[in-house]
Chain A
Amino acid sequence: MREYLLGNAAIARGLLEAGVGLVAGYPGTPSSEIIETLVDLKGDMPLHVEWSVNEKVALEVAAGGSWTGVRAAATMKHVGLNVAADPFMTLAYLGVGAGLVLISADDPYCHSSQNEQDSRRYAQFASIPCLDPADPQEARDMAAFGFDLSERFNIPVMLRPTTRVSHARADVQFGEPQPPCESPRFIKNPARRVALPVHARPLHTELVEKQSAIEQALQGTRWNRLTLRAEDGIIASGIAGLYAEEAVLDLDLDVSLLRIGTYPLPSSLIERMLRHVKRVLVVEELEPVVEEQVERLARKVNPGVEILGKGGLILREGELDLLQVRNAVARMRGLEEKQPLRIPAADKILPPRPPALCPGCSHRATYYAMRKVFGKKAVYPSDIGCYTMAVGMGTVDTCLCMGASITLASGIRFGGEPEDICCSLGDSTFLHGGMTGLLNAAYNKARITVTILDNSTTAMTGHQPHPGTGVTATGEPTIKVSLEALASALGAGLVETVDPNDLERTIECFQKAKEFPGLSVVIARQPCVIKARRSGSSRRSFTVSDDCQGCRICVDYGCPAIEFEGNKARINALCTGCGVCAKICPSSAISEVVR
């Protein structure tokens, strides 16, 4: 079959064709659609697909599946691998049962991330092989191949797509899903499954020793392609290989080209290139992983070769594109570079269109009430989610990593900050990485207020369910964990729940939390407006009367449904009927439209 597939859907196809039996992941752009596609495609197949509580959990669940004899995969975004780093590093020693593929989707340029770390470094760090696809077809092929490689060398394998692979579409050739292994059993083998020092030492030796065999096995795969032509060469990895190939055609040049898709790097191909050329340009996104190896090998086989790359022609930060790579190649050859078109009118007359909280989003109401109670001087650590976009409301003072709002708040308190501290994080983020921080805050007696912005979904990444929603990834009913009971059990002294659209009560709750002489938790609960709209819940609508004094208080509230025209406020068709603006209008000029 051949279809126009999203990269992540192609990866899901590859997993299914390899007969995967267990897939676990935590949502994160650009990785989320892998599991969503599997849920859509799995049908009656005996395949366990789950949204895990976080990435560490996902990788461990996948490892358990692998050790029980079913092919297993874990999916996450690059920063999720930081959370999963603990099992990741030691799994390299312990190895697999059936094949284990870890998918870590990188995000050069931080399209939707807090950093642009390079997962290839992690693979290198753990001595785990890494497959670096250039496009959705390669991503599908590598996802399936990863299991064979994993089983052959008894080691987990990393698949590392980037945003421009995961969220690219292409015509992709794929086949039929295969059923998972039918008679799985956990086989006891303490020497390989119990990482005691006495076991770990020989396993480390084994890990080091198998590296060259893995390199040999990967070298000849179709993802490493060497074309020797003129004495100028290009070595390019992953999607950079596509940019390089296109740039060479565009410039109509006769240059040697080595495209790379596997790690440990194919040293003998690199050596052949280095022996052939006088000058070589290394093109790769983010870290100079290939370039460092090229430099090392050049010292051995051709010390005189000129190596170009990072620190000049190719940026170490951000994502590459055809124009940048074309210009780097042109500069190497002394050809004219193409300047990107500047359109002065665009800079001059275009209004900015930054991403913003949705019309009627309850996070806006929560933050409005929070700010009203805690004021300008209070410190507001925040977290990872839609609500980070409220940075302009004055209630997002920090954003570091999943769950860090609570722990940063604790540290800011213990560091001696005298003002009130009110932190905030979403429900999914709290369950992912906030619970340990809340327990720590309670145990170590942090006097802070923790606000859980509970919209009952993982909104930012596309509304995936979590343990607080009562359904699993596949839509089956399950436990619905109580955030109130969790917060109390973890040691919060005061736990209050409120509907943020009820502004007066929300203000009262924050007031109570502010005055509480210990650790307080406010749960601001209102379903995500996007989800509510999709589920077809009825919407009220509001209008502004002639009593409007043009004070702009409602406009400054920042809801996209409120416009300002001719010195008066106006409510447009985006209104979801939350009614918060009517409560903050000092002239009582906003009221519900009675139908």
Chain B
Amino acid sequence: MRTSECDIVIVGVGGQGVILISDVIGRAAVKAGKSVRGAETHGMAQRGGSVINHTRIGCRFSPMVAAGGADVLLALEPAEALRFAHFLSSDGVALVNTSPVLPVTVTTGIAAYPSLEEILAALRDVCRMAMPIDATALAKRAGTAQAMNVVMLGALSRYIPLPEGLLLDALAEVVLSKYLEANRRAFALGKAEVE
């Protein structure tokens, strides 16, 4: 029996705004009268390392998505998509920002960064669909590169059981008002990308 309406794993690199996405989803879920659970990365791991957030809509159990159980993997960074791909269910969907953030191991020439094609191919082996999204470029088009995470949230909005209006209300609560219009544009561009 299903114990959660929708299980989402959001991954990226410290500083990309992973927590904001979960915060918006959680607030929107509360507005919708649904129970919601989330788990965050704080502390040492944040310093330039991989960041993972679990968000479970319509769930009253533990805050963590089980490996092999995610309906959606939302990746703000392509290598991180593959690093956490074991969370995807075989029916799941991976939405992947195509713009890499090179780890120090790559910038210093110790390790190599795989091509986007390799990453997407490996993702497609484990889930129903892996969709690349150039969220960084779309955010710039919306008016602020910082809103890359909100572009991805817009794309995610097509796959989660929450009304768009509530997500936008929640977004308005967490974004500074002077950036709200750009963030709304970013959301719309992300959503259009998966239509």
| B-binding residues in A (CB < 8 A) | 2-4, 6, 29-30, 111-112, 135, 164, 167-171, 239, 242-243, 245-246, 249-250, 252, 321-323, 326, 338, 340-343, 345-346, 349-358, 386, 389, 460-462, 552, 555-556, 558, 560, 562-564, 572
Contact = CB atoms under 8 A, between A and B. Distances in A.
Contacts of B40: 6, 167-169
Given A112-B44, A169-B40, A341-B67, A351 B86 contact: no
A171 B122 contact: no
Given A112-B44, A252-B1, 17 more contacts: A2-B30, A4-B23, A111-B43, A167-B42, A168-B37, A169-B40, A171-B26, A249-B3, A340-B68, A340-B86, A349-B122, A353-B13, A356-B48, A460-B44, A461-B43, A555-B109, A564-B108
B62 A321 contact: yes
Given A164-B63, A322-B66, A345-B122, A351 B105 contact: yes
Given A249-B3, A563-B107, A346 B82 contact: yes
11 contacts: A167-B40, A168-B38, A171-B36, A340-B86, A343-B85, A346-B122, A353-B79, A355-B49, A356-B48, A555-B107, A563-B107
Interface in B60-111: 61-64, 66-69, 79-80, 82-83, 85-86, 88, 102-111
Nearest to A246: B61
B149 interface: no
Contacts of A357: 47
Interface stretch (B112-120, B161-169, B175-183): B112-120
B37 A135 contact: yes
B51 to A, nearest CB: 10
A462 B14 CA distance: 13
A343 B82 contact: yes
A321 B47 contact: no
Given A239-B62, A343-B126, A386-B47, A353 B105 contact: yes
B104 to A, nearest CB: 5
A342 B119 CA distance: 15
Interface residues of B, number: 61
Contacts of A461: 43
Contact of B35 (A171, A342, A352, A562): A171
Contacts of B111: 351-352
B136 interface: no
Nearest to A559: B104
B49 A164 contact: no
B61 A242 contact: yes
Contacts of A572: 107
Nearest to B119: A349
B39 interface: yes
A322 B67 CA distance: 9
A564 B86 contact: no
Q: Closest 5 interchain pairs by CB?
A: A112-B43, A4-B26, A29-B43, A355-B49, A351-B111
Contacts of A341: 67-68, 85-86, 88, 126
A389 B3 contact: no
A344 B102 CA distance: 21
B192 interface: no
B79 A350 contact: yes
Nearest to B22: A169
Nearest to B36: A171
Given A170-B38, A170-B63, A564 B109 contact: yes
Nearest to A338: B68
B107 A355 contact: no
Contact of A30 (B26, B42, B50): B42
Interface in B5-36: 13-14, 22-23, 26-27, 29-30, 34-36
Contacts of A350: 79, 82-83, 114
B101 to A, nearest CB: 9
A435 to B, nearest CB: 25
B26 A564 contact: no
A112 B42 contact: yes
B48 A358 contact: yes
Given A112-B44, A171-B35, A356-B104, A242 B62 contact: yes
A410 to B, nearest CB: 27
Given A4-B27, A4-B36, A555-B108, A353 B48 contact: yes
A562 B110 CA distance: 13
Contacts of A462: 42
A112 B68 contact: no
B62 A351 contact: no
B103 A352 contact: yes
A213 B165 CA distance: 52
A444 to B, nearest CB: 33
Contacts of B14: 355
A552 B34 CA distance: 54
Nearest to A354: B49
B195 interface: no
Nearest to B28: A4
A320 B119 CA distance: 29
A224 B49 CA distance: 39
Contacts of B106: 351
